[in-house]
A and B are shown apart, each in its own frame.
Chain A
Amino acid sequence: MGERTIIPFGPQHPVLPEPLHLDLILEDEKIVGAVPSIGFIHRGLEKLVEKRDFQEMAFVIERICGICSFIHGQGYVQTIEAVMGVEIPERAKYLRSFWGELSRVHSHLLWLGLMADAFGFESLFMHCWRVREKVLDIFEETTGGRVIFSVCKVGGLWKNVDGDTLRRIGGVLKDVDKDIRPLADVFMRDYTVQKRCVGLGVLTKEEAFQLGAVGPMLRASGVAMDARKLGYAAYGNLEFEPVTENAGDCQARIAVRVREIYQALDIMRQCIEKMPGGEVATTVKGNPQGEYLSRLEQPRGEAVYYGKGNGTKYLDRFRVRTPTFANLIPLLHIIPGCDLADVPLLALTIDPCISCTER
C-alpha cells in the first residue's frame, strides 16, 4: 500500500463553474475515497416564502438556478396550484411543456459544451454554445428573458405565444436540429472523445437504482425512469419514451443527453402541432391551505417540490429536492478507483448544479 495523500478539489476549480468541494484521498495516482462538502452558496431562498406572498414568490423561486430556471418556477406554481385546486387552461399546459423542453435543449447543449471543454476539446465546446444561442434567442423572443423568464404564475402564465410565432419557431427548431447533428456525431464517434469517456466511471443498473441516481445518470445505467411520464403539464398527451443506454459509463451519459435533445425537439414539435387555442391564465382567489408534493423532470433529473400553506398569503414551508443532491451519492461511488485526472470529468458527468442544491 502506498502512502495516502489528501488533495482538495474545488471549491474553485477550472472545470466547475460552481463551488463543489471534494477531499480526494489518493494512493499514488489512484483515488481511494472522496469526502464532499457543500454549503458555500446557501442563500436561504426557501425561508423567504414566509415573508413574501405566494404570487411574488414564483419570481424568486425561478432564481434558484440559472439553467433550470423555468422548471423551478413551474414546479413551484404547480405545487401551489395543486394545493389550491386550481385547474389551468390547456394552452398554458402545452406552453409549459414547450418551454420546459426548450430548457432541456438549452441545458443539455450547455452541458455538452462544458463536457467538451473538460476533456480539452475547445472548438467542440464553442460549436455547442453557438447552437445554444439560437435556443436562447427563442426564449428571449417568447418570454422577454434569456435566462430568467418570469412567465409562470399561480393560475397559468403571464405571457401567451401566438400561433404564427410558434410556427416560425418550429422552423428555427429544425435548423437547430440540423446544426446539432454534426456535433452529436463528434460526441458519439470521435476517437478522442471515445478514448476519454468509454468505460470511465461505470455505474451498474442496480447501483444506480439503489443509490438513488436520477435523470440522465440513472437512464444511462439502463433504468427507464422519467418523471415526465407522470403526465404533468401536457406530457400526458404527448408521445415519448424515456431515453436509456446500458453501459453506465461517461460515454453512455453523453449519449443519453444527446438523444434527449432530439427527443425534446420532437416533443416541442408535437406541442406546436397539438396546442389548443384560448386563454393562458385563470383567476386565482383565496390563499393556499394544505400541502402537496410534486415531482418534475429537470434536465438534470427528477426534482421534488413540497409546499405547505396555512390559509394566509404566506406559505409555511417550501422545499426543493434538487437532482444534483440525489446524484452526489452515485458520484462519490464512482470516483474511488479512478485516476486523479478523471475526477473533473466524473464530477461533470452528473451535471452538477450546486446553486440549485444549496438554494
Chain B
Amino acid sequence: MDYEPVIGLEVHVQLATKTKLFCGCRTTFGAPPNSQTCPVCLGFPGVLPVLNKEVVELAILSAIALNCTINPYSRFSRKNYFYPDLPKAYQISQYDLPLAKDGWVEISSGGKIRKIGIIRVHLEEDAGKLIHEDSGSLVDYNRCGIPLIEIVSSPMLRSSQEAYEYLNALKDILRYLRVSDCNMEEGSLRCDANVSVREKDAEGFGTKTEVKNMNSFKAVKQALDYEISRQIDLLEKGRRVLQETRLWDERESRTHGMRTKEEAHDYRYFPEPDLVPLSINPEWVNKISKRLPELPKDRMNRFLKEYGLPEYDALVLTSSRDLADYYEECVRLYNQPKVISNWIMTELLALLKEDGIEITQVKIKPEHLISMLGLIDKGVISGKIAKDIIVHMFRTGKDPSLIVEEKGLVQITDEDEVSKVIDEVILENKKAVLEYKSGKTKVMGFLVGQVMKKTEGKANPQIVNKLLREKI
C-alpha cells in the first residue's frame, strides 16, 4: 500500500530584542546562569509584567511578511503546568485570540512552487533551561521570559524535504526582517513536528505523534524520515500508532516515546489578568510595514532581471540579506555584476565556509574587492594571482595594492623579461617543443604552465602565449 506523511510544524522563534518580553532583563546569549533575572521573570509574588513594545512590533512585522491577517484585538492567556523551568507555574502565552492568523509561505517542492499555510502566529515567553545531572537538575532562568513567536503551519507538508524547505523559507524571511537570527544551535529557533501517515489520497488523518528535541534543520529532516517509516511500518504490520510525544535521539538516530501522565495536557488556559489586551489598528500595522525590507524571493527575482545572473547565483547571493547587501554594494562601485558574482560565489564564499563565519564578519571591504578587480583590469595582476591576493585580504583586511606591493606580486608584462624565461623553457623542454611542431598543439598548455611556474604565476598569460607562438 502507498502511504503519505502529513506533517505540521510548530516553530518557536526568539525575537531579537534587547530585553525580555515582560521585564527589562537582558537577553544576551551565554551569560552566566541566573545573571539575567529579576523578580518579574522569576515569578515573585506581587510583580506585574509590562509588555515590550518592540516585541509586539517585531511580531507584527513577521506576521505581515508571512502574509497573515493581524487580529485587531488579541490578548494573553496563562498556560498552567508544573515544571522546574517555569517559576510561576504558568507560561504567559496567547490562546484563543492570537496576534495573527491565516498566512502562508512559498516553498519549492519538486520544481513546483507550493504555498504552505500558516494557521497562527502568537506571542509567548520562553521557559528556563534545565541541565540534568545525576545528583539533580540545575535550573538557569536567563531564558525565562525571553520573547518568542510561535508559528504554526497547517498540516500540509507532505515530506521531510518539504518540511526542510519550509523551515528554510521561514528562516530566510525572518533573518531578512532582522527579527531573529534563527540559530537552532543557540535555541533562537526551535521546531516541533506533528507527524502522521495515511493511505495516499485518503480523506482523514492518521493518528499523529509529536516529535521534539531536534536541534538542527538536518535533525528535523532525519527525525521526520525516521518517524514516517516507523509509523508506516506499524500500520503495515497491522498495528496502530499511539498518540504520544516522541523525542529525537541524535546519537541513536531514532525517536523514543516519552512517558507522560494523561492529564499532562490539561493546561487550563485562562485570560492573563495582569496584562491588558492588545489592540492593533491598521495605522499601526501600516507604520510597521514600512520597516518591511525586500524579501528573499523578490530580491532574487530582481537579481535575475537586473543583473542577468544565473538562477543559482541569484539564489545563493540573496540567501542572506547581508550577503545580498554586500553584493549590491560591490555592484554599485563596479558595474560588472557577473564578474563580482563569480568572485563572491567561488572565492569569498569558500573562504567564509572554511572559517565558518558570516559575511558580516568578513574583513574584505567591498571597496577593496573592487580595487582588486581594478588591478586585474589594469593588468597589474593576473586573475590567478588575484586568487592568492583575495586570501591575504581575507586574512588581513588589507588593501590589495598594499598586498601586491608587499609580496612583490606585480604581473610581469615586460616582454624582454618574459622572453628570457620562455627561452629557458624552450631549452629545457625540447621534446615538448618538437611535439608541438609536429602538430600536437595541446602541448602549448604545458609550455605556458612551465613559464608560469618559473615566474611564480606572475607572467602575463596573454604575453606568454603570444611570445611562445612567435618563438616556436
Chains A and B form a bound pair: no
